[in-house]
Structure 1
Amino acid sequence: MSEFELDGRIARDSDLVTELTLCQLRIQNDRRWPWLVMVPQRAGMTEIFELSPEEQALLSAEVNKVATALKTVTGATKINVGALGNIVRQLHVHVIARFEGDPNWPGPIWGFGQAEPYGESQKQDFLNKLVEALS
């Protein structure tokens, strides 16, 4: 069995927040939306159904925990959760806070405009609140 290796595109576009039991929790470097990416640390996985039933349950629990923390920290109108993977095949789940009036509300965020990187202090402030909400 091969070892888990993070897809280079995910590594390039996000930063590690913490490691959960199953997933790496990462923040997408785009301040337009509080956007988290969860990557199950299992080699060769592209689909949720490829995980064992126990891992599927753990993924669901971790996604719910992260989504709840994101909603608490941001007060978002809606939390979007999706596992698309058409371009980046490695199994990963997006957890995104959306607000009425955000840059593409209510449309999808994919392919909309250009990413706007966080300032370091802005990102750190958000992550401190998120990590506190997760604990």
Structure 2
Amino acid sequence: MELNKNCMYCMEDENRDNLMIEICQLDVSTVFLFKEQTYTGRCNVVYKDHVKELYQLEEQELAAFMNDVKKVAAAIDKTYQPNKINYGAYGDTMHHMHMHIVPKYEGKENWGSTFEMNPSKTYLSDEEYKTMIEKIKKNIV
């Protein structure tokens, strides 16, 4: 794997750790819980290598990554029963393949609209993060 020294995912740096907490490793990705939890259960699935675009992945790699995304979305659904899960693969400024898994709840924040990247409204205690991570990890199959 080629590391990009400007990438918080490649460098596993403080910027990444200020935003999210590692949940587990899957086949070709790492799963993180966002610290900002306006959307209860929001996670990020980060591809193992520094790849910018989905089309740059070989067919098997793409299938494996999407399977990791599927596992995380299913775990979020089982754990928190959102009304819908939104998926976001942006990366305008962070050129490392990752997928936001954002549970949405009818009548709550941004229902019927695009989720906010970082609304900075809901942060939890260390114990609450730990409990969430344990629940999500238990449901990742």
What SS does structure 2 have at the residue aligned with 1:39?
A: strand
Match among 20, 41, 44 for residue 48 of structure 2: 41
Q: Which residue of 2 aligns with 1:2?
A: 2
Report matched runs for 1:23-102 at 5 Å: 23-33=29-39, 34-43=41-50, 45-102=51-108
List runs of 5+ in structure 1 lacking aligned partners: none
Q: Is the 8 A contact 1:38 1:94 kept in 2?
A: yes
| Percent of aligned pairs with the same amino acid | 19
1:3-45, Cα deviation, whole Å (9 max, x unpaired): 47147544431111111110010011112112100111113x1
C-alpha distance in 1 between matches for 2:114 and 2:139: 26
Query: What TM-score, normalized to structure 1?
Result: 0.88
List runs of 5+ in structure 2 lacking aligned partners: 5-9
Alpha-carbon shift at residue 110 of structure 1 (Å): 2.1
C-alpha distance in 1 between matches for 2:140 and 2:105: 21
CA-based RMSD: 1.9
Q: Is the 8 A contact 2:105 2:111 kept in 1?
A: yes
Q: Aligned residues, how many?
A: 134
Q: Which residue of 1 aligns with 2:7?
A: none
Paired letter, 2:47: P
What SS does structure 2 have at the residue aligned with 1:80?
A: strand
Query: What TM-score, normalized to structure 2?
Result: 0.84
Q: Are 2:112 and 1:132 aligned?
A: no
C-alpha distance in 2 between matches for 1:104 and 1:112: 12
Q: Which residue of 1 aligns with 2:111?
A: 105
1:55-111, Cα deviation, whole Å (9 max, x unpaired): 101011111111111000001000111211123221110111110122222222225
Q: Is the 8 A contact 1:37 1:93 kept in 2?
A: yes
Q: Which residue of 2 aligns with 1:20?
A: 26
C-alpha distance in 1 between matches for 2:57 and 2:42: 24
